[in-house]
Amino acid sequence: MLIWEAYKLLGPADGVVLGTTRILPRTTDLAMPHVWDMIGRLGEPVTRSPSAQPLWGVVALAALTTLGIAAAGWLVGVVVGIGLALVMQRWRLAEWGLLPWIVISQTVPLIAFAPVVKSWGSRVEIGSFEWQDWMSVALIASYLAFFPIAIGALKGLQSPDRIHEELMQSYAAGYWTTLVKLRFPASVPYLLPALRLGAANAVIGAVVAEVSTGLQGGIGRILIQFAGQASGDPSKAWAPIFGAIVLGLVAAGSIALLGVMLRNYRRTEEAV
């Protein structure tokens, strides 16, 4: 923030241009509004109409909507990711067969398939269940979230020492008992960073998917909408960006909280 204002104060109005490429941005109020203007703008109403809500309220509501969608996507990602990890841990063959595809799946650009998912979604109708547009967004979020979770969970499930596995074997413990008493607890130090990464991905995925599917109500939508008004109201365009940052912090914070609750399972973490 200090850097921002310092650069704004000292930097040339036209930015720093090297050859024909501008390597540092212009410092005009249009391109870089003052930090206090951006914050002050949050407290003002969205539009000039007398019934308008304050900007921060609109952003917070949009952020909450997006958070809900991202959380749904994250949950799906957790279930799918851990499910895949379980299958891969149990059967070596599945690991060989699945892992390359899981990796390849992440190379498909998000923007490319977001509209495809939306159009598939609009055709899904099972009985009284009707596919909602937000579900497409959640699905895309989960698509980004499941990858780190699958990889982290697999690593975690495979992490118990041989001595512990043999101990369980000596107790004649079966697959499920070993899973619950040994593999899951042992995987916590690997799972937590994976869940954090998955949460960040889910938020990014949800915002980007909102933009590319044009879903109303979320932060992605107002990001585009306010950016369009930036020439007249430059500070306003920054509000959703703050909203997105807070969203990411809330997501990361929830995982940190989870980590505190599970701290007994992280006693070996320094060694990992």
Partner 1 sequence: MRDGSGFRDGAGAPPQPASGAVSAVEVRGVDKVFETRTGQVQALDAIDLTVAAGEFVSLIGPSGCGKSTLMRLIADLDDPSSGTLTVFGKTARHARLDQEYGIAFQSAGLLPWRTVAGNVALPLELHGAPSAARSARVAELLDMVGLTDFADRYPDQLSGGMQQRVAIARSLAEQPRLLLMDEPFGALDEMTREKMQSDLVRISAETGAAVVFVTHSIPEAVFLSDRVVVMSPRPGRIREIVPMRLGADAKRAARTDELREERAFFDMVTAVREALHGGAPVGTGPRGMETR
- Cα–Cα dist 248/199, whole Å: 8
Comparing CB distances to partner 1, the nearer of 138 and 182 is 182
Q: Of 242 and 265, which CB lies nearer to partner 1 in the complex structure?
A: 265
| Residue 195 Cβ vs partner 1, minimum distance, rounded to whole Å | 17
Residue 179 DSSP one-character state: I
Residues in the chain: 272
Closest distance to partner 1 from the beta carbon of 256 (Å): 19
Closest distance of CB 122 from partner 1, Å: 47
In the numeric block, the tokens 């390359």 are attached to: 100
Q: Indicate the residue among 231 and 264 with the shorter CB distance to partner 1.
A: 264
How far is 253 from 69, CA to CA, in rounded Å?
17
How far apart are CB 240 and partner 1 at their closest, in Å?
Answer: 42
Which residue ranges make up the site for partner 1 (CB under 8 A)? 161, 163-164, 166-167, 169-173, 177, 181-182, 185, 188, 264-265, 267-268
Cβ count within 10 A of residue 84: 23
d(CA 141, CA 213): 12
CB 1 within 8 A of CB 33: no
**3-state SS class at 227:** helix
Name the phi and psi angles at 186, rounded to 5.
Answer: -70, -20
Choose between 44 and 269: whose C-beta lies nearer to partner 1. 269
Measured from the CB atom, the residue of 128 and 170 that comes closer to partner 1 is 170
Nearer to partner 1, 4 or 265 (CB): 265
To the nearest whole angstrom, how small is the minimum distance from the Cβ of residue 181 to partner 1? 7
* Exposure string for 224-247, b = 16+ CB within 10 A, e = fewer: eebeeeeeebbbbbbbbeebbebb
Structure-token pair, residue 91: 């059967």
In which element (H, E) is residue 257 found? helix 234-261
53 versus 169: smaller Cβ distance to partner 1 = 169
- In whole angstroms, the minimum distance from the beta carbon of 267 to partner 1 comes to 5
User: What does the alpha-carbon distance between residue 170 and residue 76 come to, in Å, rounded to a whole number?
Assistant: 36
CB of residue 186 to partner 1, shortest distance in Å: 8
How far is residue 48 from each of residues 151, 173, 265, measured CA to CA in Å?
Answer: 50, 69, 54
